[in-house]
Amino acid sequence: MREFDYIIVGGGSAGCVLAEKLTACGRHQVLLLEAGPSDRRFWVQVPIGYGILFQQKAVNWMYNSDPVPGLDGRVIYHPRGKVLGGSGSINALVYHRGQAGDYDDWAAAGNNGWSYADVMPHFEQLETPPQDDPRAPHLSVTDNSADFHPMGRDFLEICRQGQLPVCEAPTREGPGITPYLTTTRDGQRCSSAKAFLRPAMRRRNLTVMTGAHVSRIGFEGKRAQTVSYSRNGQDFKARAGAEIILAAGAVGSPQILQLSGVGDARYLQSIGIRSVHNAPHVGQHLQDHYGINYIFKSKQKTLNDVFGNWPGRIMAGMEYVLRRSGPLSLSVNQLGGLVKSSTALNRPDTQIYMNPLSYQTSQKGKRKLMKPDSFSGFILGFNSCRPKSEGTVTITSARPGELPSIRPNYLDHEDDRAEALAMARLIERLMATPALCDLLADEPMTPLDRMDDDAVLADFRQRGGTVFHLCGTCRMGPDAASSVVDNRLRVHGVEGLRICDASAFPNITSANTNAPTMMLAHRAAGMILQDRQR
């Protein structure tokens, strides 16, 4: 059995940041185990590849939820990255920290050290290399707005006329509709694998194993000591002298904990797993952003007119190959931001967005992104920033290869249903603006102004979907009776084990979750190194 100082499970958004930070000083031997393959794949690198990776089994876990009661029993498709870079290698590339209040709430819930003032330096260090070392590993957070579809300007005008706060310059944090910043570098995806792991892989103290599916953590008493994994059909074990760090994401981390006997002891015993530590909150408090797209037929040409035919695709392909620019180099989510659905609120409750193309997301999760609608179309969409409904991730057997049950319980909480209505009425207000009416080639496909509240909510239940921001399943909190990890991300009640990924969020952040996840990993790495020196 090989021994390392640290073993990181999961080479996703968080895992890659951890691997870089823990190996930088050269003193620690680190093993990173990732179930998926390398991210050196054409469609991972090309931003628009998002539409293809959405259903690509080779790099995607392709989970389905259990039927969701609040959505009339619909099953919701949940893509998650299974590749170096994790979900950050298949995501829509939008970079947004959320709102300062998100983190102040984390701290107010008893998580000292996680207020916005505490975490801001970590965002900044992720995003900017030190002045004396501009080539040091860092994320590229890029303003591509000069290349955005011209319809973006119409969207900003629609929002202005709808009395929403608009800013022409992109923002990293807080309220306002702006062009989105994206994690791209020179026209390519800049995931945490590219930004952090690749430079670290040159170091001799980092071992990265792809295709390594972790089945469980082995304990000696209450101390996590070993990691069992399978690779190419063979079983292996590695030993951690210092710590094991789970970074397998909001589905993978609770799954591995439960398989290892850390979870609800009674339930685990009922499916044949010996309990190591009774931790009933493992896999609880699942949160996500649930949203809806409204599709419009446009007088102006949109990206449907580029991607919907071969000449358009060939032109866009040539522009990308020759200049690394054009629609293939951009996210499909080009503008959006955080706004209040009512002026009476003290902070934004809604994220709205505009895509200058339109496609249907069917029940079975067939997102025809590269086969957009046959007309010139665009999307306005929204999701609630801080939903209160909570779900679960639970293993259903002791077999590591079996996918866990995911119950997101969307719209379970009555406040989420009320918010959905308020947000839809906000979109209705935007639909009435002269700027939007001027764009339309036809009546809106979803005539919100002619729909009563029941019809609006029924539509939201029937057509809505995940915005892919699963988190909270091993949440941070001061009390072992209501959380899984403490404010240094150590699993309550056991030793030598931390959880450093989106599953540790105490509460979902208001906007896209990739930036907060990488920040959390950056902060966690500092804590791990500090604790080693004590």
Residue numbers annotated as active site: 469
Q: Which of 501, 507, 508, 522 binds ligand FAD (CB under 6 A)?
A: 501
Q: Is 59 near ligand FAD (CB under 6 A)?
A: no
In sequence order, the 6+-apart residues with CB closer than 8 A to the CB of 313 are: 306, 307
Q: Judged by CB, which is closer to ligand FAD: 32, or 430?
A: 32
Choose which of 262, 406, 491, 515 interacts with ligand FAD (CB under 6 A): 515
Site for ligand FAD contains 469 (CB under 6 A): yes
* Other C-beta atoms lying within 10 Å of the C-beta of residue 480: 17
Name the one residue in this structure whose structure tokens are 């979902």: 508
Task: Say if CB 303 and CB 148 are below 8 A apart.
Answer: no
Helix axes 414-431 and 453-463, enclosed angle (nearest 10): 100
CB of 485 to ligand FAD, least distance (A): 13
One residue of 4, 6, 8, 13 binding ligand FAD per CB under 6 A: 13
CB of 80 to ligand FAD, least distance (A): 5
C-beta closer to ligand FAD: residue 342 or 363: 363
Positions in 253-282 near ligand FAD (CB under 6 A): 256
**Nearer to ligand FAD (CB atom), residue 32 or residue 448:** 32
Nearer to ligand FAD, 86 or 162 (CB): 86
CB 289 → ligand FAD: shortest distance, Å?
9
Percent helix, percent strand, percent coil in the chain, to nearest 5 = 35, 25, 45
Residue 525 interacts with ligand FAD (CB under 6 A): yes or no: no
| Binder among 4, 63, 196, 468 for ligand FAD (CB under 6 A) | 468
Q: SS3 string of 195-209?
A: HHHHHHCCCCCEEEE
CA-based nearest residue to 295, from 145, 463, 423, 458:
463
Provide the angle, in degrees to the nearest 10, between the axes of the packed helices 414-431 and 151-161.
Answer: 110
Which 3 state secondary structure label does DSSP give 189?
A: strand
Smallest gap from Cβ 469 to ligand FAD, in A, equals 5
- CB 507, CB 102: distance < 8 Å: yes
Q: For residues 251 and 404, is the Cβ–Cβ distance under 8 A?
A: yes
Provide the minimum distance between the beta carbon of 439 and ligand FAD in the complex, in angstroms, as a whole number: 24
Could you say whether residue 368 binds ligand FAD (CB under 6 A)?
no
By CB under 6 A, residue 287 contacts ligand FAD: no
Neighbours of 421 (CB within 10 A): 15
Residues 79-138 within binding reach of ligand FAD (CB under 6 A): 79-82, 86-88, 90-94
Residue in the block written with tokens 């393959």: 37
Q: 231 - beta bridge partners?
A: 212, 234
Query: By the criterion CB under 6 A, which residues form the site for ligand FAD?
Result: 9-15, 33-36, 54, 79-82, 86-88, 90-94, 213-214, 247-250, 252, 256, 468-469, 501-502, 512-515, 517
